[in-house]
């Protein structure tokens, strides 16, 4: 459901990958905090359902944009559509992303190039487009969803881990650049989270996940939202995830890589 006008007294959050998982839970939290929403995802039917729900429960303006973010023109198309609709984005949430599981020499190159486009290029492109206006208006917030995978190499998910390392590094760097502008950047680095992500990657039976209790997406989203509102640069949900992120700095890299490989394997 797209309402015909934006409620001017409310701020607006744009969320990519909003149809499920952490993205959906973040959308729920922003709606409950009286934000208007721009919901972006490939799943148009799900977006319509979510927008209607928010309109009914909270009275929020919810614009839906159905886009495949693996297509290089998608970020510019989103930005242009919002400009034409005179919708100002106060909070940008780059949540969309996916992973591919398997040995790099055996995985599909086309799928990995799409993953690079979604996880890395689209995130960078959207940030570039929206941050300029945020700086100009003297306020704004950006939440980039990375992963605990950002802190170490990841055999059997080599490209995915690398994209998350990029998001962490990129977010920390621009957070520093933007100090004093009124714009903050937060990078959310959750560990394994209960969602459809692991089934899609094919790693649900890995030693890392099988039989393990994972943090739920709502809890992860709440931690991300609170950290964003406080202007924290890095948010790592869960004590063990925080501990592991810090500990890898004191362990030889080759040993860390072997440990991750062992955890990722399904036997």
- Round to whole Å and give the CA distance between 14 and 29: 13
User: Is 166 an annotated catalytic residue?
Assistant: no
CA neighbor of 184 nearest in space, from 122, 128, 228: 228
Q: What is the CA radius of gyration of the chain?
A: 18
CA neighbor of 44 nearest in space, from 25, 66, 59, 27: 66
CA neighbor of 260 nearest in space, from 184, 173, 148: 148
Cβ atoms of 193 and 215 within 8 Å: the answer is: yes
- Which residues form the catalytic set? 160
């Amino acid at each position: 459901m797209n309402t015909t006008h934006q409620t001017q007294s409310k701020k607006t959050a744009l969320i990519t990958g909003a149809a499920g998982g952490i993205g959906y839970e973040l959308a729920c939290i922003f709606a409950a905090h009286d934000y208007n929403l721009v919901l972006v995802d490939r799943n148009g039917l799900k977006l319509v359902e979510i927008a209607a729900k928010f309109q009914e429960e909270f009275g929020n303006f919810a614009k839906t944009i159905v886009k495949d973010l693996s297509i290089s023109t998608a970020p510019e198309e989103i930005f242009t559509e919002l400009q034409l609709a005179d919708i100002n984005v106060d909070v940008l949430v780059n949540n969309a992303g996916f992973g591919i599981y398997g040995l790099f020499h055996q995985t599909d190159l086309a799928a990995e190039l799409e993953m690079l486009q979604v996880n890395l290029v689209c995130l960078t492109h959207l940030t570039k487009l929206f941050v300029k206006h945020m700086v100009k208006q003297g306020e704004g917030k950006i939440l980039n969803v990375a992963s605990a995978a950002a802190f170490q190499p990841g055999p059997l998910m080599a490209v995915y881990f690398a994209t998350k390392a990029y998001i962490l590094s990129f977010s920390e760097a621009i957070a520093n650049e933007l100090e004093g502008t009124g714009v903050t950047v937060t990078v959310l680095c959750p560990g394994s989270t209960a969602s459809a992500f692991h089934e899609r990657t094919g790693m649900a039976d890995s030693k890392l996940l099988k039989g393990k209790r994972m943090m739920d997406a709502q809890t992860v989203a709440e931690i991300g939202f609170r950290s964003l509102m406080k202007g924290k640069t890095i948010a790592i949900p869960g004590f063990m995830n925080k501990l592991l992120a810090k500990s890898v700095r004191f362990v030889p890299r080759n040993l860390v890589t072997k440990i991750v490989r062992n955890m990722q394997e399904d036997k």
